A and B are shown apart, each in its own frame.
Chain A
Amino acid sequence: NAGVTQTPKFQVLKTGQSMTLQCAQDMNHEYMSWYRQDPGMGLRLIHYSVGAGITDQGEVPNGYNVSRSTTEDFPLRLLSAAPSQTSVYFCASSYVTSENSPLHFGNGTRLTVT
């Protein structure tokens, strides 16, 4: 199993550009989520999904969109990039039916917005 795969690993955007961060998992996990990691602030939840067709907002959703058309994929879209979105983004997934199964994380996407 590949686990949770995130692409790209690195990305530089100019202010106002849009892009999609990809996340795919091959563990048949129902729950998928996006976090951003910033120094001194830990990880903050952006959006999450408990299954195909179901998404909801986390703590810091502004400026980001998500969709969940399949169980495997959960892309994160930046609509109009801003310097404040410079961060490391992590996708994570887990089972829902086994409610305390741990989160599995991807290796992250480091995004710089200039």
Chain B
Amino acid sequence: AQSVAQPEDQVNVAEGNPLTVKCTYSVSGNPYLFWYVQYPNRGLQFLLKYITGDNLVKGSYGFEAEFNKSQTSFHLKKPSALVSDSALYFCAVRENTGFQKLVFGTGTRLLVSP
């Protein structure tokens, strides 16, 4: 069965510094990987996805993610963090179905300090 792991409960970074939120995955077959963000008292919002092609995927709000097949990782990155990026971030993998039956990680809270 597919699974994802987010090893860090929380990541702290100063505004203007680069940020990385880690995710590793386990799948049988081709990985379909996603990042979602959750702001307080809201549902999750889609950030970006990796299906196939370039290992560096660009998404919303200046975020990007690097797919690494040999390390089975899909880390979320941003070159310069903003205080408004503070939120809960979820990595997810799609099961081998033809629809969006996603398995989510436990989430990583990102705190960006001014």
Contacts and interface: CB of A to CB of B under 8 A. Distances in A.
Interface in B11-40: 32, 34, 36
Contact of A103 (B102, B105, B106): B102
B51 interface: yes
Contacts of B49: 100, 102
B109 to A, nearest CB: 11
Contacts of B51: 100
B83 interface: no
Interface in B90-108: 90, 94, 98-107
B44 A31 contact: no
Nearest to B91: A42
B41 A90 contact: no
A4 B101 contact: no
Dominant secondary structure of chain B at its interface with chain A: loop
Contacts of B43: 4, 90, 92, 105-108
Contacts of A45: 101-103
A60 interface: no
B42 A107 contact: yes
A112 to B, nearest CB: 15
B89 to A, nearest CB: 11
B88 to A, nearest CB: 10
Interface string B49-63: 101000000000000
A101 B104 CA distance: 16
Contact of A42 (B41, B100, B106): B106
B45 interface: yes
